[in-house]
Structures are given as structure tokens and as C-alpha cells.
Amino acid sequence: MTGPRQRAKARALEVKASLKFAATLMGLMIAALVAQAALAQDENITRSHGYSYFGDLNYPPDYPHFNYVNPDAPKGGEISIALSGTFDSMNPYSRSGRASALSTVMYESLMGEILAGSGTLPADSHKEAYGLLAHTVEYPESKDWVIFHMRPEARFSDGTPVTAHDVLFSHNLLLDQGLKSYADAVRKLIPGAEVIDDHTIKFTFAEGISRRTLIEQVGGVPVWSKKWYEETGARLDKPRLETSPGSGPYVIKEVTPNRRVIFERNPDYWGWDLPINKGRHNFDRIRLEYFADSTAAFEAFKAGEVTYRTESDPKVWATGYDFPAMDKGWVVKKQLPDGAPPGVTGIVFNLRKDILKDKRVREAIALAFNFEWTNKSLLFGLFAQQKSYSDGTHLEAKGLPEGQELAFLKSLGDIVPETFFTEEPWVPVAGDADRLFPRKSLRKAIKLMSEAGWDVGDDGQLRDAEGKTLRLEFLLNAAGAPSNKAIAENFMANLRQLGIDAELQAVDSSQYTKRERDFDYDLVFDAYPSLLGTGQGLIQRFGSADAEYSIFNPAGLASPLVDAIIEESLHTKNQQEEDASIMALDRALRDAFVIIPDGYKPDHWVAYWDMYDHPDEQPPFALGSLDFWWFDAEKAEALRASGALR
């Protein structure tokens, strides 16, 4: 039996042990806090509601909404859009099949994006991003890693929570089953990803590489339901009509292949009250109607079967809007300012083809495109000619290099041609508005072809030293705008006059998509994005490593000089150095000559049945018709009362 003295002694020992344990625990806690403070001091950890590489965010942590939206925009109504062509899939990540437009609209990312990817978010800046599925982003000064702290309230449309496990699954799914050019690039850049807890995920970046756009990269990955993929066995690299539940404001209401897709606003969407969503996602329904070609699509708009149209065809814009609904004031037609530099659209050379590797051949072929005649005769004088990948911005290379651009180019050494310092950057050769193929251009083109080893024979055909004729195929989407076909046909006529056996191959949209993905063309209408700043995406678009198979590089451009400029650009230390590197890249891309620019429309051209409204001040980097426009119920009722709409 234990007596009082023994029990007291035991209690004293317990207290002593407890105090010793507490002291040890306190010591460990203090050591951890000291280590954490030292780490924070060493690493200068940033925790923020948004991200930009240089840390300059326009919106504070307590921002109520983006400046350009109407926070009181009413919710309701439908917006409907006509598209030409066909679709047989709702999975845009597969190389086979043709996916519907807006087939990613249901999905969100850690950092927010504009609806349908038709611009930047926020639409008044292209250098920053704000948390959506994540409420906080955390990273050290070195940007060797990033941690995203997710919103625990986020839910997929089936009610299941969106977790860090879903983010990791989505990241890995894109690497395992996504497009090869994307997966290969990302694996090199982001070797590590780990779930810390259900709502925290960390990405680690490779050593010895630039940190530019890496945080934006992982922050922009669409997040899919791991549970759905594991239960269904669906694959990202196969076409399919079934879709996984998304966490976004819209869900799919109806999918009818080759005919219709309807998206419906989800009343139970988890994120309605977030500042990033205020004044956005205002339509109850977004309806897509598919038609055989662009002519049928426009007829559907005129009849009120579809109610909104972003016009791209200058002939239609100039002459097509003369129909009863316009005369009665039921349809609004307007131009809205576009503050972003235009993407470089035009006729792309496939440099994977041996005949097009010689720049002299490409320059000769380009002389067969007469912008002045084309603009006057086919585009109603509405287009502007493009010469730069940063047209109209301070990043456009002009004259001879000077200042920081000159210093940047000289730092690259002998890889930069001497002509960069003695000749101004490439600009289109002036044409003749009254003559399809000016004689001066024809003579110059023949001279260039002769220098490249192609001479005109007695039959008027260009032949090489072995007597082989030069044949080129121009791939065209038959469902596209009629003006595109007219441009291509006149261009082909000029090529034949030059002595080239040129054939225009107009194919249906599904065939066109497959052939374009397989690079089965010599010439094709395509585009490269405008240059607004540096980033890892430049490697996919213009880099040599993936040029043979990257669908983001339609020309297959592979230039050691361009590679060197991009690499150094990614390591610039301030905005001024970055700007100089982008000017140098613009100069080099124009010198590489992989596309014949066919001009651009300086403004947004929109037409819609008079039941929609938009902010008074248009933000520069997005039209936003599906994102921050809204439905006016009173105007819609007036249209119905007048018999305008069924």
C-alpha cells in the first residue's frame, strides 16, 4: 500500500517531469520561431492576395471589385452566339477530334482568368493575377517555390470540395496526358509538386532557370475533379463529350454535337461573393449555335436566332448590316476600343518543309501578297497594316537599335547579325492599291528566287537546277470567312504568275483541324501572339526545342538567335531591361520572316440585338462580352413586345 509520503513524493516527481517537458517544448517552440524568423529574414517571404513578378499590384488586399466592372450589373437573360463548322468533343486537350468553343468555361484555377480565355484578368492589366481558388500566394524572394493557400469553401458543381489533391492531380494529368509540347516544357521547369494539407499545395521550380511566369503557370492550371476522373477512367488525350464537374460559375445544360452547346449559370456556385467575381458572370445562359459556314451563321444573327456577334469579316461589317432589324433599331452595331496590340495574323510559312527554309524564297513569296490592293479591294479599307509583334506599343523595334536595346543585343555576342546594327527592322514592302501584282514587286520576287536557285523556264514555271518545279499548297478552312478565301485566291493567282505551282486546298473544319495539328500544309492562315512582356511561354511559341511538334509554333521556327534572346530576356532584372529584350525579340522575329501579316482591325467590331449593356469605359485588354457584359430585361421585353424576337 502506498502511504501519503510516497504519494506526495510521486506527485512532486510528476510536477518536476511536467515542468521539464514544458521547458523542453517551450525551447523547441522558441527555436522553431527563431528558425522561422531567420528563414523569413533570409528568404523575405511574401504572402499576398495576388501576384506580379515585380510585385506591383494595382488592387489592394481589400479591393471590392475590378475598376472596370459594374458591380451592380443585374443577373439574368441569355446571350447566344453563332459559330461556323462542327465539333465532336468537349475536350480541347486532345490532339484528335474537334472541341467546341468554350469547352473549358466550367473550370477554374488557383489564380483567376477571364471567362473563355478571351483576354487577361484583370482586363486593365496584363502583368498581374489575383487569387480565385487560392486566397493567398506565398513565395520567397528567390521564387524557388510557391505555396498556394486555397479557399476551403470552394466546391465543384457536384458539391464535392475542391482540394489541393485535385490541383496536384490536374497538374500531373496535364504532364501525363496533355499536349507533348506543353508537358515537356513544364517537366523541365517544375520538377516538384506536393500537397501540404487538404487546402495547401507547394510547387518547386528547377534550379538554374528563370523564375519568369512560373508562378503564373502553376496558378493558371485548370483544376479538375480527381474523384470523377478516377471513377470514370476518362483520359485527357481522348476526345469525349462527357465532362468532369467544374468549380466555375457555369455548368453544361446541353450538348448536341455539331449543333448546339448551352451553358447555364450555377445558382449554387461557391464564389459569387468574391471580389474577383463582382460584376462578372452575369448571364443566366450562354448558348452556342453551330452552322455549316460563316454565311449561314450571319443569317442566323439577322433572323434573331442568335443575338450577339463579334464581327471579323470586313466585307460583312461594311456591307452586310443592311437588313430589317437594323432599320428598325432592333440591332446595335458599334466599334469599341481595343487597347491591346494585335496578334500577328496572316499567312504562315511551314519551315518544316525544305523548300521554305530559304528566307529568300519566303521573301519572294511574300511579295505576291499586296496589302494595299487587298485592303482596298477586299477589306474595304478597314484594316491597318501590321509590321511588328508589338505594334503601336513602346516595345516595337524602330530604326537602328539604341540605348538599352543596343546594349542588350551587343551582350549576346557574335550570334547577332551585323545587319541588326546597320539596317532598320523589317517592314512590309509598299504595294499598289490599284494593281494586284505590281511589276516592281514581281521583278524583285523573280530576282530573289533566282538567287535561291529557282529560275523561270520557257513555260513560265520556276525550276531548280534539276528541272523540278516549285509546288506549294495553301490549306484553308472552308467554313471560314469568305474574305479569307478571296484573299487566298488572289494570293494564289500572284504566286502562279510568279511561276509557282500553287494550289488552294479548302477542306471542312474537322479535316482542317487535323491537318493543322499534323502540320500538313505549306501555307496556312494562322497567328502568333503579340509581345507584351517576357515569359516561359515564349519558348513554346518561338523556341527551337519543341519547334518540330509544338502546335503553338505553326511555322516551326527554330532560330538560335531567338532562343538566345528569350533566354536572356527571362533573366532581366527590371522592367527597363525586360522592355529592351522584347524590342530585340521583335526585331529578330521580324528578321526571321515566318509570317506574311495580312493586317488587322484596330477596334472591336460588335453587333447585338438591343438587350445587352456593357461598362461605359472599355478596359484595354479584353472585350469581355461573355465576362462582364449584362442583360437588360426591360430592353429585351421591349423587343419581344415589338415582335422582334420569338
Q: How far is CA 451 from CA 29, 346, 361, 447, 465, in A?
A: 77, 25, 9, 6, 12
Burial class (CB in 10 A: 0-12, 13-18, 19+), 314: buried
Q: How many domains does the chain have?
A: 2
For residue 170, what are the β-bridge partners? none
What pLDDT sits at residue 41? Answer: 42
Pair (456, 564) in one structural domain: yes
* 481-539 residue pLDDT tens: 889 999 999 999 999 999 999 999 999 988 999 999 999 999 999 999 999 999 988 99
Q: Which of 23-32, 320-329, 476-485, 595-604 has the lowest mean pLDDT?
A: 23-32
Taking a C-beta distance cutoff of 8 angstroms, is the pair 109, 223 a contact?
yes
134-139 and 46-48 as β-strands: parallel, antiparallel, unpaired?
antiparallel
Model confidence at 625: pLDDT above 50: yes
Taking a C-beta distance cutoff of 8 angstroms, is the pair 105, 25 a contact?
no
Question: Per the domain annotation, does 503 fall within a domain?
Answer: yes
* 299-348 residue pLDDT tens: 999 999 999 999 999 999 999 999 999 999 999 999 999 998 899 999 99
What pLDDT sits at residue 14? Answer: 42
Question: Per the domain annotation, does 72 fall within a domain?
Answer: no
What pLDDT sits at residue 116? Answer: 67
Which CATH number fits the domain that encloses residue 561?
3.10.105.10
> Which of helix, strand or coil describes residue 443?
helix
Model confidence at 33: pLDDT above 90: no
At which of 231, 248, 265 does a domain end? 248
Q: Which of 318-322, 429-433, 573-577 has the lowest mean pLDDT?
A: 429-433
Model confidence at 559: pLDDT above 50: yes
d(CA 322, CA 547): 46
Pair (393, 540) in one structural domain: yes
* 250-305 residue pLDDT tens: 999 999 999 999 999 999 999 999 999 999 999 999 999 999 999 999 999 999 99
* 395-406 residue pLDDT tens: 999 999 999 999
What pLDDT sits at residue 30? Answer: 39
Provide the mean pLDDT of the chain: 92
Q: In terms of pTM, does the model score above 0.85?
A: yes
The proportion of the chain whose per-residue pLDDT surpasses 90, expressed as a percent, equals 85
Question: Per the domain annotation, does 321 fall within a domain?
Answer: no
Which pLDDT band, with edges at 50, 70 and 90, does 611 fall under?
very high
What pLDDT sits at residue 491? Answer: 98
For residue 251, what are the β-bridge partners? 264
Expressed as residue numbers, the domain containing 112 is 48-67+86-248
Pair (241, 355) in one structural domain: no
Taking a C-beta distance cutoff of 8 angstroms, is the pair 289, 81 a contact?
yes
Which pLDDT band, with edges at 50, 70 and 90, does 543 fall under?
very high
Cell representation of residue 7: 504519494
What pLDDT sits at residue 180? Answer: 84
d(CA 296, CA 313): 14
Which pLDDT band, with edges at 50, 70 and 90, does 118 fall under?
low
Pair (230, 354) in one structural domain: no
Question: Per the domain annotation, does 502 fall within a domain?
Answer: yes
What pLDDT sits at residue 20? Answer: 43
Model confidence at 38: pLDDT above 80: no
Pair (232, 95) in one structural domain: yes
Which CATH number fits the domain that encloses residue 109?
3.40.190.10
Pair (237, 350) in one structural domain: no
What pLDDT sits at residue 468? Answer: 95
Question: Per the domain annotation, does 369 fall within a domain?
Answer: yes
Question: Per the domain annotation, does 275 fall within a domain?
Answer: no
What pLDDT sits at residue 546? Answer: 87
Instruction: Describe the chain by its helix, strand, coil percentages, rounded to 5.
Output: 35, 20, 45
Q: Which of 43-47, 240-244, 537-541 has the highest mean pLDDT?
A: 240-244
What pLDDT sits at residue 23? Answer: 43
Pair (483, 593) in one structural domain: yes
Pair (374, 231) in one structural domain: no
At which of 248, 269, 294 does a domain end? 248
What pLDDT sits at residue 43? Answer: 60
Mean pLDDT of 60-70: 97
Question: Per the domain annotation, does 30 fall within a domain?
Answer: no
Question: Per the domain annotation, does 471 fall within a domain?
Answer: yes
Burial class (CB in 10 A: 0-12, 13-18, 19+), 352: middle
C-alpha torsion sign, points 590, 591, 593, 599? positive
Mean pLDDT of 353-375: 97
Pair (231, 351) in one structural domain: no
What pLDDT sits at residue 577? Answer: 96
At which of 184, 216, 248 does a domain end? 248
Mean pLDDT of 200-219: 95
What pLDDT sits at residue 324? Answer: 96
What pLDDT sits at residue 430? Answer: 84
> Which of helix, strand or coil describes residue 61?
coil
